């Protein structure tokens, strides 16, 4: 067994223990989802509170807080399945609050860059926020039409990892390239999904003909 597989197995074991404890508490999965949103709002406040004198420390706090929020994002679905509380509304609620969490984090960065009079990065963060929402929207809209649209690379986990890396290593200027990467690949993902949906709708049109 390699160290990576051992780490993965150990992490899975720990995560399952957390899920078991939460399942015993009979807490609602929707409550866990909401707590995750609140934690992401705290991370956004750390971003917004950052300034030249404390930005590295505030960004580090924000990155660690987002990791904590990610724990709730990982366990809410597992708790729902383990306690037989899976529901259509739960999936909808989780998706909606994920969007609010994304917007909160980007809004915190917007405040940080605006306070520092860095107009270019205010525009970049706003673009990242828009592109991130469009990644989710294009999939949801496409799946209402063609059933499945899972193409594209820049899903929410990848976006969150980029923000975490940018926050944790902001001392070395990692947030800027993280935002550029997020903006580029989110846009590519949106274009990919538009193209895929077009091709799929045209294919079905030909089949009906």
Q: What is the DSSP string of the chain?
A: --HHHHHHHHHHHHHHHHHHHHHHHT--HHHHHHHHHHHHHHHHHHHHH--TTTHHHHHHHHHHHHHHHHHHHHHHHHHHHHTT---HHHHHHHHHHHHHHHHHHHHHHHHHHHHTT-HHHHHHHHHHHHHHHHHHHHHHHHHHHHS-----S--HHHHHHHHHHHHHTGGGT-HHHHHHHHHHHHHHHHHHHHHHHHHHHHHHHHHH-
Which residue is associated with the tokens 């934690």? 39
pLDDT of residue 11: 66
pLDDT of residue 8: 56
Burial-class residue 58 by CB neighbours within 10 Å (0-12, 13-18, 19+): buried
pLDDT of residue 198: 96
User: Taking the CB of residue 157, how many other CB atoms lie within 10 A of it?
Assistant: 11
pLDDT of residue 136: 94
Q: 29-207 adopts what CATH topology?
A: 1.20.120
Tell me the C-alpha distance between 79 and 73, whole Å.
11
Instruction: Provide the residue ranges of all domains of the chain, joining segments of one domain with +.
Output: 29-207
pLDDT of residue 12: 73
**pLDDT tens for the chain, residues 1 to 209:** 555 455 456 667 777 888 888 888 888 999 999 999 999 999 999 999 999 899 999 999 999 999 999 999 889 989 998 999 999 999 999 999 999 999 999 999 999 999 999 999 999 999 999 999 999 999 999 999 999 998 988 999 999 999 999 999 999 999 999 999 999 999 999 999 999 999 999 999 888 87
pTM over 0.75: yes
Nearest to 114 by CA among 129, 125, 99: 125
pLDDT of residue 7: 46
pLDDT of residue 25: 85
């Amino acid at each position: 067994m390699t160290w990576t597989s051992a780490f993965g197995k150990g992490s899975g074991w720990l995560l399952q223990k957390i899920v078991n404890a939460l399942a015993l508490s009979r807490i609602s999965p929707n409550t866990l989802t909401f707590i995750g949103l609140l934690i992401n709002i705290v991370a956004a406040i750390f971003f917004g509170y950052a300034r030249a004198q404390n930005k590295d420390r505030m960004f580090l706090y924000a990155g660690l807080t987002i990791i904590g929020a990610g724990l709730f994002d990982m366990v809410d679905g597992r708790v729902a399945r383990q306690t037989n509380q899976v529901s259509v509304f739960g999936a909808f609620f989780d998706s909606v609050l994920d969007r609010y969490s994304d917007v909160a984090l980007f809004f915190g960065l917007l405040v940080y860059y605006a306070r520092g009079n860095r107009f270019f990065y205010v525009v970049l963060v706003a673009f990242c926020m828009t592109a991130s929402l469009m990644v989710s929207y294009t999939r949801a809209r496409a799946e209402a039409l063609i059933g499945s649209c899972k193409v594209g690379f820049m899903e929410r986990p990848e976006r969150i990892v980029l923000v975490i890396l940018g926050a944790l290593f902001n001392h070395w200027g990692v947030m800027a390239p993280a935002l550029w990467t997020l903006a580029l690949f989110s846009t590519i993902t949106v274009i990919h999904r538009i193209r895929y949906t077009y091709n799929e709708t045209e294919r079905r049109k030909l089949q009906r003909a």
